[in-house]
Amino acid sequence: MTDAAASRQPGDASLGDAFHVFDTTLRDGAQREGINLSVADKLTIARHLDDFGVGFIEGGWPGANPRDTEFFRRAREEIDFRHARLVAFGATRRAGVAAADDPQVRALVDSRAPVVTIVAKAHDRHVELALRTTLEENLAMVRDTVEHLRERGRRVFVDCEHFFDGYQADPEYAKRVVRTAYEAGADVVVLCDTNGGMLPAQIQAVVRTVHADTGARLGIHAQDDTGCAVANTLAAVDAGATHVQCTANGYGERVGNANLFSVVAALQLKYGMKVLPEGALREMTRISHAIAEVVNLTPSTHQPYVGVSAFAHKAGLHASAIKVDPDLYQHIDPELVGNRLRMLVSDMAGRASIELKGQELGIDLSGDRELVGRIVERVKERELRGYSYEAADASFELLLREELLRGGAEERFRSFFTTESWRAIVENRPDGSHANEATVKLWAKGERIVSTAEGNGPVNALDRALRLALERIYPELAQMELVDYKVRILAGTHGTESTTRVLVSTGDGGGEWSTVGVADNVIAASWQALVDAYTYGLLRAGVEPQG
Amino acid sequence: MTDAAASRQPGDASLGDAFHVFDTTLRDGAQREGINLSVADKLTIARHLDDFGVGFIEGGWPGANPRDTEFFRRAREEIDFRHARLVAFGATRRAGVAAADDPQVRALVDSRAPVVTIVAKAHDRHVELALRTTLEENLAMVRDTVEHLRERGRRVFVDCEHFFDGYQADPEYAKRVVRTAYEAGADVVVLCDTNGGMLPAQIQAVVRTVHADTGARLGIHAQDDTGCAVANTLAAVDAGATHVQCTANGYGERVGNANLFSVVAALQLKYGMKVLPEGALREMTRISHAIAEVVNLTPSTHQPYVGVSAFAHKAGLHASAIKVDPDLYQHIDPELVGNRLRMLVSDMAGRASIELKGQELGIDLSGDRELVGRIVERVKERELRGYSYEAADASFELLLREELLRGGAEERFRSFFTTESWRAIVENRPDGSHANEATVKLWAKGERIVSTAEGNGPVNALDRALRLALERIYPELAQMELVDYKVRILAGTHGTESTTRVLVSTGDGGGEWSTVGVADNVIAASWQALVDAYTYGLLRAGVEPQG
């Protein structure tokens, strides 16, 4: 087998090989509690990571499970990598077996990945207790496996597992593992804080010493158990590491790994290094959220740089100052990472925030103190009942427009339709089948409309009945689709008796908007959010209310 | 006014004054998007923080809003602080006004808090653009306000806002602000990375220089915009800071603040410092989750030290090694912070994880390879359909017991009752009122039972109907109560047509257990989780199945 596979994955020549951004979302990231990736998920994530421009994508452990084996086959056939090289992960050969005879090592070669990372033990106790072999045999396992893979044309990185704990226990043995790997032909020896217990000062001191004593090219792999994985990664770079292993959104076992997005943003924006292709950083927020979608986790709202809250301001004090100069209150321009400044509507905010929010929505409120005061009061009153406008811009805009129109034709604005009543029935029959049925009774254009629909759940049935009732009068509804539906139970101490908040996101192909409903009942809260969603959608489509 | 208030809040003498753990959850933490605290919430959180043993609790800005003014009055009357001193937050006097004549400064005195933190501008551009005064007047404002508060017997800390950005722009002016505050009588001058853009190496260098050049006692206030707030706080301590400002769970504006729990755990467990009363750290996980409850945010599962995932292992590789020695794969003993080791049941896990999980539940599976294989298969199949046993131990135990009993009396075990059918109706009447009604038809002890109940939502109505039907036969149900109810929409791209996963936590006074249900319908998923919840509860109560 030759290096043919590598030629299909040339990497981005403009970035050179001097510094490696190595992503292990598909291998170490997948160890996060709650993540369970299909092959299709892994391929989608690999495409996002390649778009983002990381240098290396560790795809999994071929041979360890059929899913990873299939991933490497399909990635080779289906993805034309523009920036990244694909990496297979595996272990050193077993004790007492030649590398060529170890099926696990053979699977790494068979994956045809141009780069292989092998994990090696660097902590004496782990060698003895977990591997159950001698310290010398462990070194031979490292040497043989690296040489075997090098002979087959692979580029090899060696992950020294538990390196920092091992270094504390026996620094000389830990360094011998590094030297052995490097002398056998590993391109990079990666020092791993596998248990994640280190702090930046320790990492920096150890990396500096190991670098000086071994002369090896070093990488860093940090887990976040002390909340310092990003800082630990940067500390290692300060001490001479030129290869950083990270995961998208910091996914990983236990607390997680060093967050790829925080690390590259710091390297590019704070250190002034160029570690990604031109323009990549501006795609970071989008790519972070897209990967969260694929792994089926809600994007963290408070993630550095890319969270929706990362540049959100609610303090009245800050809001007034931001009117003067936004750079006074943000560490970088959010557009550099594809994010944006947001003003939050909240009862902690004063008039300045409401005016700025109006501005964001294209409505000038600055001239009308009485109107702004009325909006502040109404937001306060509703937030007290559990509404949250921070994540429901469309519902807030409806509230704002309603107040704007108070002076003129009272409440005319919301009257695309009025609700007389609705009902939803969920039934589990003796044969085990379900039935969900909803009936709505509405008035629109002076006409009373009764419609009934079935769905795969009560909210879905209500949604269908509502659309069925209105689509004849408002054909624009056919373009609209619910794209997300979230339920939050407030005051969770009372179990099923709690208040429920529903957030609905709706799209019409051209954009998305979010609405909120609150009730002591998930169905009633959903109904409110649906009514707001379609009302806003019709306004957005330029339809005139015809109540 | 004298220092009488202070005498009621003596602090914990055993810890001395050499190092300050200063909590600002109630002031800066409350700026987090999604947090909205009532006075009662603030009092509850203050009690938790005092229990935990922080030295200072910043309660808010008296005078700035009526809620904070009321908090200080009630905290003084209602809480007998054992460890903490209460701190009022405010600003320096306005430009051109004597401190004694500034109503904002007067409100700080009137709060009767023994300690006051005042925020001062330390960045020349902020003085000019946000305060709109001269650099000299800003210094006078700092001096006058500190002296005024000192004369009234208050201990004063000065927060230098935007200190690190200001230091980059004009280091001499930034240091003049520190000197002015310290010479006027401030006990601690706190250097704030208000915009959160700093990295540990920068923080360390600046704190070291300022400390050497001014001789002032320094504190650190770090925001988490680079994901380095904990590391930045520790870097400042390395450089001589002896006062750390943090918030519970890292709550705070934008990305958040330095996480109190991560910082104190690092100081105690990694630095070997004693910054909390004896035994406090073991309460950390409980207190972290309790505060999350009060602010009504789901506790972060992946938070360092205290997250439920922080010591959770799912990798098959790790699971085998943990059987040998748990310390090989954890950086600290989780009990030190009141957390625990968990083995996750997941389709990534192999037999070793299932065996360990059995062991955790007190069931020895190691002898039966075929049984373990059957359980692994069933877990895989159900996780594929959306079930998640990682957060539903009780449902997993039911599955495991079912498989255990397969050899003997087939499925007898689940037969406390069998379901014939159920139905839930939600109705919104023309007068705007809601009705929620559920009917269940069950068999128990050979008897057919039909019961109907109303509730404030369809799930609550079903829950009541189920209990009504069974309580006569199983009076133990009266002890059980639903304590949490969570809905997760899977595959969110189809809006209301998605699959729904419901997690229910149930308690009986002596403990809590979690169960899971999955269906295309929130009501049906809830029903499954409720059935598992009561089945497990009855088993737990030692009741014999009587189907």
Asked whether residue A119 is domain-assigned, the answer is yes
Q: Which chain A residues contact residue B482 at CB under 8 A?
A: 494-496
DSSP A306: T
Asked whether residue B510 is domain-assigned, the answer is no
Same domain, A252 and A316: no
Same domain, B350 and B218: no
Residue A239 in this model has a pLDDT that exceeds 60: yes
With CB atoms and an 8 Å threshold, state whether B329 touches A194.
yes
Tell me how far apart the alpha carbons of residues A359 and A355 are, in angstroms, rounded to a whole number: 6
Kindly report the CATH number assigned to the domain that includes residue A133: 3.20.20.70
Same domain, A206 and A239: yes
Tell me how far apart the alpha carbons of residues B373 and B381 are, in angstroms, rounded to a whole number: 12
| A14/chain B closest Cα distance in angstroms | 27
| A49/chain B closest Cα distance in angstroms | 21
Same domain, A185 and A323: no
Among A222, A262, A220, A226, CA closest to A238: A220
With CB atoms and an 8 Å threshold, state whether B254 touches A481.
no
- Interface probe for A, chosen from B226, B237, B488, B504 (most Cβ of A below 10 Å), is B226
Tell me how far apart the alpha carbons of residues B4 and B2 are, in angstroms, rounded to a whole number: 5
Q: A157-193 burial string, b = 16+ CB within 10 Å, else e? A: bbbbbbbbbbbeeeeebbbbbbbbbbebbbbbbbbbb
Q: Please give the pLDDT value at position A391.
A: 66
Q: Please give the pLDDT value at position A499.
A: 78
Q: Please give the pLDDT value at position A29.
A: 96
Residue A346 in this model has a pLDDT that exceeds 60: no
CB neighbours of residue A19 within 10 Å: 16
| Residue in chain B nearest A225 by alpha carbon | B304
- Interface probe for B, chosen from A379, A521, A526 (most Cβ of B below 10 Å), is A521
With CB atoms and an 8 Å threshold, state whether B426 touches A318.
no
Q: Closest partner residue to A523 among B330, B458, B506, by Cβ? A: B458
Q: Which chain B residues contact residue A344 at CB under 8 A?
A: 33
Tell me how far apart the alpha carbons of residues A201 and A203 are, in angstroms, rounded to a whole number: 6
Among B481, B428, B426, CA closest to B457: B426
Instruction: Report, as an integer, the average pLDDT of A420-446.
Output: 91
| Residue in chain A nearest B480 by alpha carbon | A495
With CB atoms and an 8 Å threshold, state whether A428 touches B311.
no
Q: Please give the pLDDT value at position A14.
A: 64
Q: Which chain A residues contact residue B235 at CB under 8 A?
A: 200-201
- Interface probe for B, chosen from A26, A33, A159, A327 (most Cβ of B below 10 Å), is A33
Rounded (10°) CA dihedral A156, A161, A167, A170? -100
With CB atoms and an 8 Å threshold, state whether A310 touches B255.
yes
Same domain, A231 and A358: no
Instruction: Report, as an integer, the average pLDDT of A295-315.
Output: 85
Domains: count for chain B: 2
Q: Is residue B438 within 8 Å of B465, Cβ to Cβ?
A: yes
Q: Please give the pLDDT value at position A390.
A: 66
Instruction: Report, as an integer, the average pLDDT of A517-522.
Output: 88
Q: What is the 3 state secondary structure string of A486-523?
A: EEEEECHHHHHHCEEEEEEEEECCCCEEEEEEEECCHH
Residue A514 in this model has a pLDDT that exceeds 90: no
| Residue in chain A nearest B391 by alpha carbon | A34
Same domain, B103 and B32: yes
Residue whose tokens read 């059995």 = B358
Range of the domain at B361: 312-384
| Alpha helix segments (H runs only) across B258-413 | 260-265, 284-295, 316-324, 351-360, 369-384, 393-405
How far apart, in Å, are the Cα atoms of A356 and each of A336, A350, A465, B188, B392? Answer: 22, 10, 38, 36, 44
Identify which of A254-268, A344-358, A379-393, A460-474 has the greatest average pLDDT: A254-268
With CB atoms and an 8 Å threshold, state whether A33 touches B312.
yes
pLDDT in tens, A94-118: 999 999 999 999 999 999 999 999 9
Q: Closest partner residue to A521 among B199, B254, B458, by Cβ? A: B458
HSE-up of residue A536 (Cα within 13 Å, Cβ side): 29
Instruction: Report, as an integer, the average pLDDT of A214-219.
Output: 98
Residues in chain B predicted with pLDDT less than 70, given as ranges, are 1-14, 314-321, 323, 345-351, 384, 390-391, 407-414, 490-498, 546-547
Q: Please give the pLDDT value at position A491.
A: 52
SS3 percent helix, strand, coil of chain B, rounded to 5, is: 45, 20, 35
With CB atoms and an 8 Å threshold, state whether B270 touches A197.
yes
Among B24, B22, B26, CA closest to B295: B26
Q: Is residue A181 within 8 Å of A142, Cβ to Cβ?
A: yes
Asked whether residue A46 is domain-assigned, the answer is yes
Q: Please give the pLDDT value at position B4.
A: 36
Same domain, B345 and B209: no
| A119/chain B closest Cα distance in angstroms | 12
Helix (H, G, I), strand (E, B) or coil at B208: helix
DSSP B266: I
Which of A148-157, A431-440, B354-363 is least confident?
B354-363
With CB atoms and an 8 Å threshold, state whether B492 touches A500.
no
Tell me how far apart the alpha carbons of residues B43 and A375 are, in angstroms, rounded to a whole number: 29
ipTM of the complex: 0.74
Same domain, A264 and A361: no
With CB atoms and an 8 Å threshold, state whether A482 touches B496.
yes
Residue whose tokens read 């009633």 = A524
Asked whether residue B209 is domain-assigned, the answer is yes
Inter-residue long-range contacts of B326-334, CB under 8 Å, 24+ positions, other chains counted: B328/A125, B328/A126, B328/A129, B328/A130, B328/A162, B329/A194, B329/A195, B330/A195, B331/A195, B331/A196, B331/A197, B331/A225, B331/A226, B332/A197, B332/B269, B332/B305, B334/B310
Percent over 70 (pLDDT), chain A: 89
Which domain-ending residue is among B358, B384, B410?
B384
With CB atoms and an 8 Å threshold, state whether A428 touches B436.
no
Residue A2 in this model has a pLDDT that exceeds 60: no
Write out the two tokens for B354: 């299932």
CA-angle at B136, arms to B133 and B137, nearest 5°: 50
DSSP assignment of A71-102 equals HHHHHHHH---SS-EEEEEEEPPPTTS-GGG-
Q: Which chain B residues contact residue A379 at CB under 8 A?
A: none
Q: Is residue B317 within 8 Å of A5, Cβ to Cβ?
A: no
Same domain, A283 and A322: no
How far apart, in Å, are the Cα atoms of B541 and each of B340, B511, B529? Answer: 24, 11, 18
Q: Which chain A residues contact residue B194 at CB under 8 A?
A: 329
Same domain, A54 and A143: yes
Backbone angles phi, psi at B414, to 5 degrees: -85, 5
Q: Is residue A139 within 8 Å of A158, Cβ to Cβ?
A: no
Instruction: Report, as an integer, the average pLDDT of A351-370.
Output: 77
* Claim: this prediction has a pTM higher than 0.80: no
Q: Please give the pLDDT value at position B477.
A: 93
β-pairing, A115-121 with A155-161? parallel
Q: Which chain B residues contact residue A125 at CB under 8 A?
A: 328
Q: Please give the pLDDT value at position B345.
A: 62
Q: How confident is the model at residue A409 (pLDDT cuts 50, 70, 90)?
A: very low
With CB atoms and an 8 Å threshold, state whether B130 touches A423.
no
With CB atoms and an 8 Å threshold, state whether A255 touches B227.
no
Same domain, B209 and B351: no
CB pairs under 8 A between A and B: 348
Helix (H, G, I), strand (E, B) or coil at B348: coil
Among A149, A142, A146, CA closest to A163: A142
CB neighbours of residue B23 within 10 Å: 29
| B240/chain A closest Cα distance in angstroms | 14
With CB atoms and an 8 Å threshold, state whether B481 touches A495.
yes
Q: Closest partner residue to B33 among A301, A425, A484, by Cβ? A: A301
Same domain, A198 and A342: no
| B201/chain A closest Cα distance in angstroms | 8
| B420/chain A closest Cα distance in angstroms | 5
| Residue in chain B nearest A418 by alpha carbon | B430
| A400/chain B closest Cα distance in angstroms | 20
Which domain-ending residue is among A328, A362, A384?
A384
Q: Please give the pLDDT value at position B6.
A: 37
Residues recorded for chain A: 547
Residues recorded for chain B: 547
Q: Closest partner residue to B426 among A200, A266, A521, by Cβ? A: A521
Residue A421 in this model has a pLDDT that exceeds 70: yes
Q: Which chain A residues contact residue B231 at CB under 8 A?
A: 199-200, 227-228, 230-232
Asked whether residue B301 is domain-assigned, the answer is no
pLDDT in tens, A153-196: 999 999 999 999 999 999 999 999 999 999 999 999 999 999 99
Q: Which chain B residues contact residue A234 at CB under 8 A?
A: 199-201, 228
Which domain-ending residue is among B363, B384, B405?
B384
Among A475, A486, A435, A465, CA closest to A531: A465
A445 or A8, higher pLDDT: A445
With CB atoms and an 8 Å threshold, state whether B482 touches A463.
no
With CB atoms and an 8 Å threshold, state whether B34 touches A321.
no
Residue whose tokens read 């709505």 = A440
Helix (H, G, I), strand (E, B) or coil at B225: coil
Strand partners, B485: B504
Sign of CA dihedral B248, B241, B202, A243: negative
Write out the two tokens for B351: 């037999």
Asked whether residue A504 is domain-assigned, the answer is no
Asked whether residue A500 is domain-assigned, the answer is no
> Which residues have CB under 8 Å from A10's CB, separation 6+?
none
Q: Please give the pLDDT value at position A498.
A: 66
Q: Which chain B residues contact residue A238 at CB under 8 A?
A: 201
- Interface probe for B, chosen from A342, A485, A528 (most Cβ of B below 10 Å), is A485
A98, burial (CB in 10 Å: exposed 0-12, middle 13-18, buried 19+): exposed
Q: Is residue A9 within 8 Å of A84, Cβ to Cβ?
A: yes
Q: Which chain A residues contact residue B293 at CB under 8 A?
A: 492-493
Asked whether residue B128 is domain-assigned, the answer is yes
Residue whose tokens read 């294989």 = B373
Tell me how far apart the alpha carbons of residues A133 and A126 are, in angstroms, rounded to a whole number: 9
> Which residues have CB under 8 Å from B208's CB, separation 6+?
B239, B240
With CB atoms and an 8 Å threshold, state whether B331 touches A31.
no
Among B362, B322, B325, B371, CA closest to B343: B322
